[in-house]
Every structure is written in C-alpha cells, then in structure tokens.
Structure 1
Amino acid sequence: MPCYNEVATVDEIVSRVLASPFTGELIVVDDGSTDGTRDRLSRYDDPRVKVFLQSENRGKGSAVRRGFGEASCEFVVIQDADLEYDPSDWDSLLAPLVRGDADVVYGTRMQEGPSHRVPYYWAMIYNRMLTRLSNMLTGVWLSDVATCYKAFRLEVVRSLDLRENRFGIDAEITAKVAAGGWRIWETGISYTSRNYAEGKKITWKDGIAIFVCVFRYGISVRVRKLGKRA
C-alpha cells in the first residue's frame, strides 16, 4: 500500500484490508507524509501490518517498488491508501491466480460492474488513450492500463526490474509483464473516484510523464518482439 498524505482515509482503508480473509500481510510504504499519516501508522498493533517510512516524497512508483521488495506472501495486490478501490473486490481479483489460470490480474474500471461514483470524463478519456497506445505497443489487449488494482504471483513481482518513481510505474509494469510473457487476466471492479479537494494527487504533468512512459516501455517491448522474429 503506497501512502502519501492520506490521514483522512488511511484508518478506514487499513481496517478494510485487515478485515479481508485474503490478507496475510499488509505492507504500507509511507512516501514522506507530512499531514499526520505517519502518526496514524505508528498506532497499528496488528502483526500483519508492516510499515516502512521513506525519508522524503519520492513518488508512488518508488513506494510500490519498496513494497514489492518487502512482499513475502504467495500473491501480491497493489492497494491505494484512499477509498477509490475496495478490498471487497479481492475475491474476483485473486480468483484467476488461485485457480492457476493467470500470473497477473488487472482490476478494470471499464467493464460493467457494481454501481459507482461517476469519474471525470476527461480523466477516463485520457486513460483510454493511454491504454490503446499501450496495447498497440505491447500486443496485450487491456481495457484499463492505469488501474491501481493489479494482483500478481510473487514470482512475477520478483522478476520485474522496475525503475519508475512516479505514476509511470503502471505503464512500466504492463510493458515488463508483457515482455515476460506472463499470463494476464482482467476482472471488473467497483470504483469510487475522488476529486482534488478530496485528496487526488495525479496532475496534468504526471499525465504527460505517463504518456512518455507508455511510449518508452512499449517501444522496448515492440523492439524485443521484432528482434525475436528476426
């Protein structure tokens, strides 16, 4: 769980995660919070909760990479510290992994599912553009490349040599999962979008950087595949 300035939501989301029957450990990586989040994290006494503090704000990707490095359970799920994504969806997210049908599962916001708060139009249009470009370059047909909800077998997580520090981590993960030939599934999830007043942090500058990452890592996958055919 990457976490940055989420004092308003962290108690609730930690409670939901710990209530899930699938939770073997909860790794929280605080990315330099300054709003009191760290004080909240210091109060948890459940032995499943492992908190790691970064000395400064380095970005979501940096926190995700640290969390991956500390993970030890058979399956790994990325869970944001806000309330946009609900751990009650873990059942359907983990099912293909448990059955042995998949190595990675994406929780997509684009499929019909439970009722949800309507997200911003342009945010979703931009996500569709990113997803289409990623699909073209990686050869993997996804409907929501920017979703937070991604579940992995631990061996997949350990195989990914990730470098991105900010939101471009989603594009990098997708490209490197595709390059590794891992089996990818999608499942519909619920989604409760929030606005900037409620704590949303991604900006238009991040949007440009993500586009660059989709292109950079996608091109590397395309070149690798063309090299194998030659």
Structure 2
Amino acid sequence: MNACTMKNKKQAKNSVKKLSILIPAYNESKTIIGILEKIIRVDLPESIKKEIIIIDDCSTDHTDEKVAQVMKSHSEMYIKYIRLKENRGKGYAVRTGITNATGEIIIVQDADLEYDPNDYSILLQPILSGKYKIVYGSRLLNRNNKYSYHSFYWGGRLISLITSLLFSCKITDEPTCYKMFDASVLKSIPLTYDRFGFCPEITAKARRCGYAIKEVPINYYPRSKQEGKKIKWCDGVEAICILFKFRFHNKWQPMQYRNMRKANTAYQSRPVTNRRRLLKNVSFLILATLLVFYAFSKQPGYHWVYFNLLRGNMETIKKYPKLTFEQKMQMKLGTSYEYLLYLKQATPENAVILYPDSKDFHEKGSPFTQNIDNKIYATRFLYPRKLILESERKTGKYKNEITHVAIVNGKGTEKLPYPVDTKFQHGVLPLKPQTK
C-alpha cells in the first residue's frame, strides 16, 4: 500500500510542468506592476507551475524599483529579475530569458497591458495535448478585437500574408507577442536578431524545421505611440527581409532537423520546400504587388482609401493637424468624454472599472453614455486602466480583477459590494477590499 502511494506521488510529481514566462521590458514602469499582478493572479491547469523572468533591457526609468516592489509583496512566487548592461532590443532580451528559463514550456509576454494573461490556458491546450510544439495567439481570430485604425495593423496583415505564402502554411497573425513553445524546441533553434526581428526569425526557422504552428484566438488591447508603443515601420521592412532570407537560405537548416521530421508527430508530413507550390505562391505575391501598385499610382480615386486605412480620416488630419491626444479623444468620444475624463482622474492607473451595459442606458438618454458604445476609444483613453462591461463580467473572465464600479443614472451593477447610500447620479466607487 505504501509502495503504491509513493509510486503515485512520484508519477504526479513527474507530470507537473513549469511555464516559463519571459517578460522583456524597457521603460515600462507605468505598466509593469499591472502585468505582473495579472500574471500572478491568473489560474493555470493544476499540473502547471509559473516561473516569471523579467529581462530589463537597461531601462532608464523606475522599472527596476517597480519590479522589486512586486517581488517583495509576492515572495512566494518564483520571480527572477535580470538587468542587461546595455540596451540591445527585444530579441536579445528574449534570448537572455531563454537561456535562464527552466520550464518545459516557454511563452513571451510583453510588459505592457496589450495582451491578457488570462489567455494562457487556451494557449497551453494544444501543447499539453501533445499535438503541437508551437502555439501562436492570433489577435485576428478574435473578432471582438477591433484595432484596424492603427497603422501597424496593416503591416502585420502583410507580414502574415507573406509568411503564409513563403512557408506554405496559414498564419493570420505572425507579429503577435504571444508565442508559446515547447522549451526543447525553442532552445534547439539558434536565434541571432536583437530587435523585433526575433518574431519573423523564429517563425521562419521553425517552419524550415518542419514544425506546425497552431493558432488560437486571444484578446488584445492596443496602445498608441503616445502611450509607449515602440515598433516602427522599418521593423516591418526588416521582418519581410528576414522571412525571405531564411526561406531561400538553404545552407541554414541543419541535417539533424530533416532526420527529426520522420519520427516526430509535431512535424507536418509535407515538407515546406515544395518548389512548385513555392513558385506559385511567390508568383501570386508578385502579381498582387503589381496590381496594388497600379491601383495606387494610376488611379487617383483610390488614394483616399489608402489614407483612410493607414492614416485615419485624412480630412480630419488636414483640418486639425496639431491636435493633442486628449483633443482627438474628445472628438471621437463626443459627449462621453467628460464622464470618461472623470473616470480617468478618479481612479489609479491599475484600476479595472466595471461599467454597466451601454445599450440599457442609451434608451434612457443619459448625456454621459450616448457614445460609450465606442469601447475601443474609451479603453484607449483610459489606458492603462481597463473598462469592463457588465456583459463581459457575467462570463466569469474577469473574476476577482474588478477594482471599481461606475455609477450611471444612479445605478451601477448588482451583486457587487459598493456603497448603497450613493446620492450622486454619475460617478465611480471602489469595491470593498475584504469582498473583492
């Protein structure tokens, strides 16, 4: 009896896996506490433990102090902080994290609040099932993510299209941050690029090795350059060059990867070096590029479409060339701006605000909620605070994360502990700490 018990305990111990979460950070003092708190609170399958590795890319703000604050308040968590001696870029920081990771599974997590750690569970499923070694979180597969007004959206779509054509696969979101790997696979692929070239490099080399890439839908909350987004248009050009380089650089692929394909089910049966298919894809890409060039250079009527897609409303830009971020938000949010400004001033940066469903209050004609259904701009204006609607809370996704409740027309939401003797019609109240 005792022998069987010891054997079962040993098997259970061997089945426990560790998820290494790599967080490259550069001047993210405003958001690093928020993302670390989210990662610590997120629930994973019982067999998965968390290992958090922060790689500080020589930040010049107070990122190190914020991390130390979290490490002190959560001493029970395994959190490792690595500070680089000089700023080398995201790719170098990720490589440093890979060498220090001890988990069987590795994921890359940005230090901002654009990506939701609650999506870890759905990313883990394909790897835990044994069917895949690499899983990408796709922002496009989740139709609730609406960020096409950002210029980098179209660059990402182009990079994903080129990736799919060059490597004979269907990738909808190649530049996504959420890339999860079996640690043995990731550590076996040599990486060299320091900046954002890490993403196309790992994708290209993984496909050259024959690995299938599984995509799952994730949530996404974009931020603008004013809010700290660091990617530039030249990074997109570099990504395309890297994809072409490793697709046609036949000397790169070691012989050991070719032999591994036959024995590993995580590899696709059809090799990616199908020359006929590749020729067809490249021909299609060249033809599509020529057609687009012709449309924009010979047909003046198409120019306004181009500017609308990549630059927003061109007429607004011409009319208001020097608008500040607050002025642009005031135009987009209309009569909701005053109330959202109050929410921003009355809550801390890490607040998660529960807002009643807008449709109900539209019917009542509240002057504060006529345009609140534009949740994209409302969330962007409150960043890094998060605006959660009542319908989202009912799904259970944001359990134990809500810190404040918004009151509109004297009514908030049910079954949450906020003061009932409120006399004002519109406002925001913190939840009681003991019942959060």
- What's the TM-score once normalised by structure 1's chain length? 0.91
1:36 corresponds to 2:62: yes
Q: 1:106 aligns with which of 136, 146, 155?
A: 136
| Equivalences for residues 3-22 of structure 1 within 5 A | 3-22=25-44
After TM superposition, the structure 1 stretch with the greater mean CA deviation from structure 2, 21-30 or 80-89, is 21-30
Aligned position for 1:192: 221
Residue 79 of structure 2 corresponds to 49
- Give the CA deviation at 1:220: 2.7
Q: Deviations over 1:181-221 (max 9, x none)?
A: 22321100000000011110011222222222222123336
**Distance in 2 separating the partners of 1:81 and 1:34:** 15
| Distance (whole Å) between structure 2 residues aligned to residue 119 and residue 10 of structure 1 | 26
Give how far 1:25 is off. 0.3
Percentage of identical aligned residues: 36
Q: Secondary structure at the match of 1:152?
A: strand
Q: Distance in 2 between matches of 1:85 and 1:65?
A: 20
The aligned residue for residue 216 of structure 1 is: 245
Q: 2:117 — aligned with what?
A: 87
Report the AA paired with residue 129 of structure 2: R
Task: Work out which of the two has the higher radius of gyration on C-alpha atoms and give 1 or 2.
Answer: 2
Relative to structure 1, the CA distance from residue 208 to residue 18 in structure 2 (aligned partners, 3 Å threshold; closer, same or farther) is: same
Give the match for residue 132 of structure 1: 161
The 8 Å contact of residues 147 and 153 in structure 2, kept in 1 or not, is answered as no
- Give 3-state SS (helix, strand or coil) of 2:50's partner: coil
Q: Determine which of 139, 142, 167 is the counterpart of 2:196.
A: 167
Deviant stretches of 4+, over 4 Å: 221-229
For the residue of structure 2 that corresponds to 1:198, the secondary structure is coil
> Unaligned 5+ residue runs, structure 2?
1-22, 254-271, 277-436
Task: Return the letter of the residue paired with 1:29.
Answer: I
Count of residues in correspondence between the two structures: 228
**Which 10-residue stretch deviates more, 61-70 or 214-223?**
214-223
Deviations 1:98-148 (A, max 9, x none): 1111100000011135x3453534311111111111222222221111000
Report the alpha carbon displacement of residue 11 of structure 1 after superposing the two structures with TM.
0.1
Kindly provide the CA deviation profile for residues 18-58 of structure 1, in whole angstroms up to 9, marking residues without a partner as x: 11233520011000100111121233133411011111110
Question: Over the residues paired in the alignment, what is the CA RMSD in angstroms?
Answer: 2.2
Q: For the residues of structure 2 that align with 1:121 and 1:14, how far apart are their CA atoms? A: 26
Q: Is the 1:130–1:145 Cα contact (8 Å) retained in structure 2?
A: yes
Moved more, 204-213 or 71-80: 204-213
Structure 1 unpaired stretches of 5+:
none
CA contact (8 A) 2:43 2:118 kept: no
Quote how far apart the aligned CAs of 1:9 are.
0.2
